[in-house]
Amino acid sequence: MDTAAVFNGIDDDDVLLLDARSYKRFTGEMAEPREGMRSGHIPNSCSLPFAALLNDGEAKPLTQIKAAFEAVIDGQSILQFSCGSGVTACILALFADECGYENLHVYDGSWSEWGGRDELPIETGSSPAR
């Protein structure tokens, strides 16, 4: 999935972008590891750190992973996934698939692309209520 698809999904109530980065990177409280990169997140996205779905590097039981998804998904039928570089977003997409979700899309450029482009909007702070 490309930047245009993510941008077009920002205000679409059927779309939810889940960000796999740590919560402090998502909120902008922690600087990005790439020098000069803006901090924050894509508007209307939701934080779901991939590390929260693991126990000592192994996946939590599927029931716990499904509960984590259910806590953030509110009727959206299209799930998009982002992270810092596109790699850990794939973990969320895999877990979503294992939980039975469909219509899953990984944003390949993720924050390294979005955060590096000044013309694209960002937000800081916690996830907005959708």
**99 in catalytic set:** no
Interatomic CA distance for residues 91 and 62, integer angstroms: 13
- Per-10-residue mean pLDDT of the chain, 130 residues long, equals 95 96 93 87 95 95 97 96 94 97 96 94 76
pLDDT of residue 126: 82
Domain ranges of the chain: 3-31+40-114
Query: Active site residue: 46, 83, 90, 99, which one?
Result: 83
Q: Which listed CATH number (3.40.250.10, 3.40.50.2020, 3.90.78.10, 3.90.1300.10) goes with 3-31+40-114? A: 3.40.250.10
Q: Provide the whole-model pTM.
A: 0.93
